[in-house]
Amino acid sequence: MPKAIDENRVFEVTATLFVRHGYAGTKTKEIAESAGVNEATLFRRYGSKAMLIGAAIDHQWREVPMAGLGPSNDLEADLVTIVEAYLETNRLLGAIVPALLVELARSADLRDAFGAALENVRGLAAILQHHQAAGRLRAEAPMTALVALIGPLMVQEMLRRADLGQLSPAIHTRSYVQNFLEGRLERGLTSKTATGPA
C-alpha cells in the first residue's frame, strides 16, 4: 500500500520554494526532499511541476481570512472586515502574489494557480456590489471600488515587505475605511447612516 503523503506539508514547501526561487528555480527534487516524499510520487499525484505549484498556491488561498466573507447590512463594518481580512491574508500569503504575477508573464501554465485567489476577490467585490444595490455605496464597477479599497494596502504591504521603514506606516483600519468612504457613499448618506435594511 502506498505511503500517505502530508499534502499540507507538500503544498507549504512548494509555495515557500516558489516564492523564494521562482518557477524555474523551484525543483521538484527539493520539494520532495523537504516534504519527505518521493519525487516520483509528486509526478504521479500532480502530473507536472506547474500543476503541483498551481495546486499548492490554490490550496493556500482556500484557507485564508479573505475566503468566504459575506455581506451584512452594515457598510462600514463590512469594509472594516474586508480590510482586516485582506491585511491578515497578506501577512500570511502576501509574498505569493508578486511572485506569481511575475511568473505568469513567463509561464501560462500557472494561470490556474490564481483560481481560489480570484474567487476570494470576486467574493469581496460582491460585498461591495450588495451595498451598491442597497443604495449605500456609490454605483461604479464593484471591482473598481475594491481596487480603490485594497490597492493602497497592497502597495503599502509591498513597501513593508521591502522593509522601507517610514514609507509603510501602521494602518488604522477604521480611519482607513472612513477615508475610503469619503466621496464613495451614496449622496446624502454619512458613514453613520450607511447601515440599514438591504
Going from the N-terminus, what domains does the chain have, and what CATH number goes with each? 7-62 (1.10.10.60), 75-181 (no CATH)
- Give percent of the chain above pLDDT 70: 88
State residue 168's pLDDT score. 62
Specify the amino acid at residue 195: T
pLDDT top residue among 101 and 58: 58
- DSSP code per residue over 44-80: HHHSSHHHHHHHHHHHHHHTSTTTT----SBHHHHHH
Q: What is the mean pLDDT of residues 72-95?
A: 92
Tens of pLDDT, residues 137-182: 999 999 999 999 999 888 887 777 777 666 666 788 999 999 899 8
Whole-angstrom Cα distance, residue 9 to residue 56? Answer: 10
Q: Is 192 helix (H, G, I), strand (E, B) or coil?
A: coil
pLDDT at position 189 over 70 = no
Torsion angle, alpha carbons of 145, 151, 153, 159, to 10: -170
